[in-house]
Amino acid sequence: MTAVESDSGVLAGEQRMLIDGELVGAAGGAVFDVEHPASEEVAGQCADGTVEDMARAVSAARRAFDAGEWSRDVQFRFHCLMQLHDALDRHKEHLRRVLVTEVGCPVTVTGSQIEDPISEVKHWAEYGRDFDYLVDTGLHNTALGPARRKLHHEPVGVVGAITPWNVPFYLNIAETVPALMAGNTVVLKPAQLTPWSGSELGRIVAEETDIPAGVFNVVTSNANEVGAALSADPGVDMITFTGSTATGRAILAAGASTVKKTLLELGGKSAHIVLDDADFNSSLPLAAMMACVMSGQSCILPSRILLPRSRYDEGLAVLKASMENFPMGDPWTPGNMQGPQISATQRQKVLGLIESGLASGARLVTGGGVPESLPVGYYVQPTLLADVDPDSTIAQEEIFGPVLTVTPYDGDDEAIAIANNTIYGLSGEVSSADVDRAFAVATRMRTGNVTINGKSHFGIDSPFGGTKQSGLGYRNGTQGYQEYLHIKTIGMPE
């Protein structure tokens, strides 16, 4: 497929899907438009896959898994995934331009979305090659005498991977590569707004690796029902999903009748507890930056800032100054750190939530609307809302925009209670001059992961998973790899 290039850097991605080793259009030939959020223009099209296309992809993956070679030959998988790593590395500038085109994220901040996932392909290839798939646990006493037990780690089977639009290339890799390296076969269903980060991966797998037909499939579609079909298909053994909590619930229900293993990384509404001894000049500018980079479209963003009442005005002033000076604009211009929201709908949702916050008594400190200097593109001003009621909608629902809400508290116990007062539990942050005190607070937060004084909890070597309604299971670390393996315990004579 010919790539469309323009002076701005906009680059149309691969239109075709990958099904059973072939790069193909949708069954009826339909395509849908992909928009560049900074120009509001259509950048190109992608195949609008159907439920029928999805069924073909699942049967190809089923056949490829049941044939057994892929699931049994770890050295071959290593070879193929290293080929994939090298091919992605060769095409990384192309992939970066496709990513900026469909997401609108600033080119300056794409390192964690391009270089990092490409290096993670190599990480998982090496990790999976060296993994101990057979563990002898020795002799165990049983009623019938001693029995040796061996733990055989086997792939789960056909894995359906469903991804969201906010960090699409990163999540396409994070959801599929460890699954493939563990010996599973995969059907990837990328998000409607970002199909090319998935279809480009499919093209590279088809054209530049020895991954056999059916082992990796990509079905793009503009219809939610195609993702729903994947999550209900009896030929699928496991769903790995990243997206909203509402969709996660639907996927869990859809998989219930066939008891699918389900790995869910869902929404968040994380709190940043700023303790009264914290260095505001280091913690709060960083908090403001995290809210604006990626236009706030980050699941782990600590968007609820909890400030001690004794230093409330001081904290608001630092946050206000940091948000007002944030470099925002055309994502192709180096140096800009905040781009547009991904779509008109998303921008409207963010603006609507800001309105609801103001209606519930919050005070607008800065921002609150569309920047006058950027009339084209789905931009939202960095927005700071103070005096936010912890029970109000703006404090309870994921905003996914460059918005921080601030709530005052009295004493650590109240801060922890407010932090824990949502259905979510994905991430969180604590700032304090006393790391032991911050650690004690972190352990009382009912959330999956916590950052102390800006030191990130997130990395390929550490398990990442949500608690409460933010998810089930883990990505990354040993636990993240083992999600894609079933442990078969084999009892045998000495």
| Residue 218 is a binding residue for ligand NAD (CB under 6 A) | no
| Other residues' Cβ atoms within 10 Å of the Cβ of residue 455 | 9
Minimum gap (Å) between residue 259 Cβ and ligand NAD:
17
Q: Which residues of 111-134 are buried (b: 16+ CB within 10 A; e: fewer)?
A: eebbebbbebbbbbbebbeebeee
How many positions of this chain bind ligand NAD (CB under 6 A)?
Answer: 28
Q: Is 267 in the site for ligand NAD (CB under 6 A)?
A: yes
Task: Compute the residue count for the chain.
Answer: 494
Strands 147-155 and 134-140: antiparallel
The verdict on 166 binding ligand NAD (CB under 6 A) reads yes
Q: Is 251 a binder of ligand NAD (CB under 6 A)?
A: yes
Phi, psi of 166 (to 5 degrees): -75, -40
Minimum Å gap between C-beta 172 and ligand NAD is 10
Q: Give φ, ψ of 185 to 5 degrees.
A: -105, 155
Residue 467 interacts with ligand NAD (CB under 6 A)?
A: no
Nearer to ligand NAD, 253 or 433 (CB): 253
Identify the three-state secondary structure at position 129.
Answer: helix
Shortest Cβ distance from residue 224 to ligand NAD (Å)?
4
Residue 336 DSSP symbol: -
Helix (H, G, I), strand (E, B) or coil at 370: coil
Closest alpha carbon to 319 in 355, 364, 369: 364
Q: Write the DSSP assignment of 244-262 as a string of letters.
A: -HHHHHHHHHHHHTTT-EE
**Cβ proximity of 430 and 457 under 8 Å:** no
* Binding test (CB under 6 A) with ligand NAD, winner from 44, 106, 268, 408: 268
With H, G, I as helix, E, B as strand and everything else as coil, classify residue 353. Answer: helix
Question: Using CB under 6 A, which of 26, 299, 406, 460 touches ligand NAD?
Answer: 299
- Taking the least distance from each CB to ligand NAD, the nearer of 49 and 471 is 471
299 is catalytic: yes
Residue of the chain from 128, 243, 302, 402 that contacts ligand NAD (CB under 6 A): 243
Which of 8, 247, 432, 451 touches ligand NAD (CB under 6 A)?
247
Instruction: Tell me the residue type at 367.
Output: G
Torsion over CA: 470, 430, 392, 293 (sign): negative
CB atoms within 10 A of CB 391: 11
**Residue span binding ligand NAD (CB under 6 A) among the ranges 31-39, 56-64, 100-108, 164-172:** 164-172
Of 122, 230, 263, nearest to 181 by C-alpha is 122
The minimum distance between CB 301 and ligand NAD, in angstroms, equals 9
Q: Which residue minimizes CB distance to ligand NAD?
A: 227
Around 294, how many Cα atoms within 13 Å sit in the side-chain half-sphere? Answer: 19
Q: Does 244 bind ligand NAD (CB under 6 A)?
A: yes
Rule CB under 6 A: say whether 164 interacts with ligand NAD: yes
* Candidate ranges 33-41, 157-165, 436-444, 482-490; the one touching ligand NAD (CB under 6 A): 157-165
Residue 462 in contact with ligand NAD, rule: CB under 6 A: no
* Contact status: 250 vs ligand NAD (CB under 6 A): yes
Q: From residue 408 to residue 427, what is the string marking binding to ligand NAD with x (rule CB under 6 A)?
A: ------------------x-
Which listed residue (120, 175, 200, 265) is catalytic? 265
Residues 359-418, interacting with ligand NAD (CB under 6 A):
398
Residue from the set 54, 121, 191, 419 that interacts with ligand NAD by CB under 6 A: 191
Block residue for tokens 């603006």: 351
Distances (CA, A) of 227 to 104, 162, 189, 196, 220: 24, 7, 6, 16, 9
Among 39, 45, 50, 192, binds ligand NAD (CB under 6 A): 192
Identify which range of 93-101, 238-246, 386-394, 428-436 contacts ligand NAD by CB under 6 A.
Answer: 238-246
Sheet holding 485-492, edge to edge: 134-140, 147-155, 485-492
Cβ contact 419:304 at 8 Å: yes
Q: Tell me which amino acid residue 64 is.
A: A
Q: At its nearest, how many Å lie between ligand NAD and the CB of residue 304?
A: 14
Which residue from 170, 79, 192 is spatially nearest to 116, judged by alpha carbons? 170
Give the nearer residue to ligand NAD in terms of CB position, either 254 or 430: 254
Q: Out of 299, 398, 429, 483, which one is annotated catalytic?
A: 299
Residue with tokens 């069954």: 27
Residue 221 beta carbon to ligand NAD: minimum distance, rounded to whole angstroms: 7
Q: Least CB distance from residue 133 to ligand NAD, whole Å?
A: 27
Query: Least distance to ligand NAD from the beta carbon of 239, Å?
Result: 8
Tell me the catalytic residues.
265, 299
| Contact residues for ligand NAD, defined by CB under 6 A | 162-167, 189, 191-192, 224, 227-228, 231, 242-244, 247, 250-251, 265-268, 299, 398, 426, 466, 471
